[in-house]
Amino acid sequence: MHYHPEYELILILKGSGKKFVGDAISEFNDGDLSFFGPNLPHTFYNKHLSSDRDIHQIVVQFYEDFLGAGFFDKRPFKLIKALFSRSVLGCSFTGNTLQAVSRKIKGLLEMDETEIIIQLLSILDILSKSSEYTLLSSIGFSNDFDPKESERMSAVYEYILHHFREDIPLSDIASQACLSPQAFCRYFKKYTRKTFSEFLIEVRIGHACRLLQERSLSISQISLDAGFNNVSYFNRKFKSITRKTPVEYQKAFTKK
């Protein structure tokens, strides 16, 4: 997990894995478009994949005052100012917005500095007028990480992603943060707004979603591979998080 004072647009050209933004976990794939506000902890992670770990991306970073102090406070830019406010939780864009902005971001690579600024304003204008987005982190998230704590949480995340298929004793995961089990529970809840068990289930469900997209395994096989020993429990947890049963999710993804 890392963070910085710049706004950041990230277009994934090639790659897949898990995206951690604030207290949220989601999958990323080719074409993923994210917009992060200043100091929002985030990372793209795929060390848990057995192969094809390369990630190709275009990253655009800028400060809010890159055109001068108060520029976006002016009336013509009120929608962009609202976009900046939403970005403190992280935004992921889809649909026609994703297609249009992806083309413009790729076009930046062939432009001079003046053209880049004009193109960036055009990109922000499109994003600010779009309803095709999802907020990634929860409203209650507090982005008060410091570098030391970010490193500690990264070690915890990495351990979870390598062992989520197994039963993870609380003592084992607590040792990754050099804390007692009781202190770890308080620490983890503070920085993720979730209990460790809730977080682990979300990681497992995210892995199951990827397997369902591939359509190569049965529901019972996917349940086991995602770390669930009981198919009924897997189905119940899957629906509580995705609002769909595994079969409904697979059908919706195939149709999409």
Contact assessment for residue 34 and residue 9, using Cβ atoms and an 8 Å cutoff = yes
The whole-chain average pLDDT of the chain stands at: 88
- CB-based contact 35:93 (threshold 8 Å): yes
Domains of the chain, start order: 7-135 (2.60.120), 147-255 (1.10.10.60)
pLDDT at position 255 is: 63
pLDDT at 122: 97
pLDDT for the residue 105: 97
Whether 142 shows a pLDDT value over 60: the answer reads: no
Structure tokens at 220: 């019972």
- Answer for the pair 19, 76: CB distance below 8 angstroms, yes or no: no
First to last CA, the chain: 31
Please state, in angstroms and rounded to a whole number, the distance separating the CA atoms of residues 16 and 60: 19
Other C-beta atoms closer than 10 Å to the C-beta of 218 total 9
pLDDT tier for residue 123 given thresholds of 50, 70 and 90 = very high
**DSSP label at 2?**
B
Tell me what pLDDT residue 157 has. Answer: 84
pLDDT tens sequence across 194-212: 899 998 998 898 888 878 8
pLDDT tens figures, 149-183? 667 887 888 898 889 999 999 999 999 999 999 99
Residue 43 φ/ψ, nearest 5 degrees: -165, 150
At 29-81, the pLDDT tens digits run 899 999 999 988 888 888 766 666 788 999 999 999 999 999 999 999 999 99
Say if CB 128 and CB 72 are below 8 A apart: no
In a 10 Å sphere around its CB, with 0-12 CB exposed, 13-18 middle and 19+ buried, how is residue 140 labelled? exposed
Q: Which distant-in-sequence residues (6+ apart) come within 8 Å of 150 by Cβ?
A: 1, 2, 3, 41
